Structure 1
């Protein structure tokens, strides 16, 4: 069975002003509703000043509780795409996006869910909270850190959830201008006796590192980062797929200086199919399939180059490859042969890859 096109079209049916610099975009996919899990994200494709850009944004809706499909985007100072979306998208416009993907999803458990969000990191956290409250009997406790009162996203929505689930949902709002930055002591105070709870964390990198290092254990930690590559985590820590703020992605076709290929050639051939073109290059030691495609003179799609966004996804039709990081593709994707070319390094002498 053929896989649908990577990018689909969706109409913007409503735009909700959450804060002065945050908007929720309600989307209606033209091919019918998406199937997704709370905490997942979509990668969007926009053309800005004649150049294509790819950005991944998490869903703020949850399939169990919302009839509308929503993503929430905060304006980033100097951010090409987030600013363009705020300034140019109107109700009735169409956008291009992938189907939802990512692994920052609810894991089965009967322990409390502890959510830690910094700024727009509340986007996937509220999605997970809604799903947990609607489908389980678990308690949910959220620590939401914001710059100030006007920056607090989903304040009314969370108040409504607290009223709907009394005794099961508690929300602690931490405002930096009133309380200073969140520190380890504040994290420990918030965790209290729920040390075995599952912690879900999303926000700016310094905030996330602080929370991860402060958590006392033995509870599991699941993190979602803003697109930067991250060190390897312990086996009980979930991968970090998505980002609710704008990642440091490059325009399509731009070669990152950090992506310079290795020079040692090995026996074998890398064959790439892209946009009805077929190119082959000799295999190089340690080179990713994305780097091989660039060396072949192609301009393959990519964005984060960290294994987070799935923009560079392609199908491995011959040979084998190992991904250094996979924080985006689902088990079903892997079974169908899809890989993240920015992370995949060939294991066999010859490999064939098809971009769709």
Structure 2
């Protein structure tokens, strides 16, 4: 039987203002989880994933921290409408941005931009509580008012002198983060440390490129990326005749969403989720990185190969389930069904 990827009611027990545009929501949610994971919230007719800022090793309650995005549908609703005692619909936690097993005392070096500090804060607390690893952390924010968890991190560093070093970068004071700052935090440990990155894409691109140039290998760099919500697709009528990339033999993708079935020609390198959008559907999705299973569907015909799978169990894969954001067709005709 497939694992529970459904939505469950969770009650808000506390709301904490972290910064003028960031709030922590503490939830009565008895879900087991690992530091660095996230859960997916269903609200306003759409889905959003939010990382836990709590640690299962140091905190008695599960908490997510949400930064209000200008024009953000769900983050705006959560900030404006939710109050203590209200209920959210959320999945069980998932995600692979977690601490790797370490027996050699490898340094943990983390780079967090903006709200990217949320899972990194969780990882930092767990690493300090459950290992002897030294931790070095760079946080980057626009200014002091927007610096999420600044006081909490300083207090944590005071409790762990010699083990936790935190560098607070403020754009209005320091300019943009530089390669020199990144190299200084890496401190010559490119081949030894585990590096964790979370933040805006330009920030992560700079950090990852600098670390790689300094000798860090891909297996030691862990990146958390959450794709922005896709725009509403423009319905595309199903083509007739040989309009595919190689004519009528190019193959097809048939998508069944809540009983509505549409077929489009296959396109090389296109995932089943992308094909569903091209067919005019608005299919479920969240992280688009193969971590959350929000987009999972069942192959009713044909085969597909997933680029990444950090969410489905082997039994689920054997039963024909795929992460549609990661699955590319490997047969000429594929049918995927999104099940409730």
TM-score (norm 2): 0.83
Query: Helix, strand or coil for the counterpart of 2:133?
Result: coil
Q: Which runs of no fewer than 5 residues in structure 2 stay unpaired?
A: none
Query: Is residue 2:229 matched to residue 1:249?
Result: yes
Pick one of 87, 97, 100 that aligns with 1:107. Answer: 100
1:86 and 1:156 map into 2 onto residues whose CA distance is 22
For these two proteins, the number of residue pairs brought into alignment is 327
Is the 1:44–1:54 Cα contact (8 Å) retained in structure 2?
A: yes
Alpha-carbon distance, 1:117 to partner? 0.8
Is the 2:3–2:313 Cα contact (8 Å) retained in structure 1?
A: no
Query: Is residue 2:326 matched to residue 1:346?
Result: no
Please show how residues 30-109 of structure 1 align to structure 2 within 5 Å. Answer: 33-47=30-44, 52-109=45-102
* Aligned-residue CA RMSD (Å): 3.1
Pick one of 191, 196, 201 that aligns with 1:200. Answer: 196
1:296 and 1:93 map into 2 onto residues whose CA distance is 37
Change (3 A) 1:340 1:166: same
Is the 2:306–2:323 Cα contact (8 Å) retained in structure 1?
A: yes
Is the 1:41–1:242 Cα contact (8 Å) retained in structure 2?
A: no
1:297 and 1:184 map into 2 onto residues whose CA distance is 43
1:320 and 1:106 map into 2 onto residues whose CA distance is 33
Equivalence for 1:228: none
Alpha-carbon distance, 1:288 to partner? 3.2
Query: Is residue 2:244 matched to residue 1:263?
Result: yes
Q: Which runs of no fewer than 5 residues in structure 1 stay unpaired?
A: 221-233
TM-score (norm 1): 0.80
Equivalence for 2:261: 279
Pick one of 323, 329, 337 that aligns with 2:306. Answer: 323
2:336 and 2:292 map into 1 onto residues whose CA distance is 18
Is the 2:50–2:66 Cα contact (8 Å) retained in structure 1?
A: yes
Equivalence for 1:14: 14
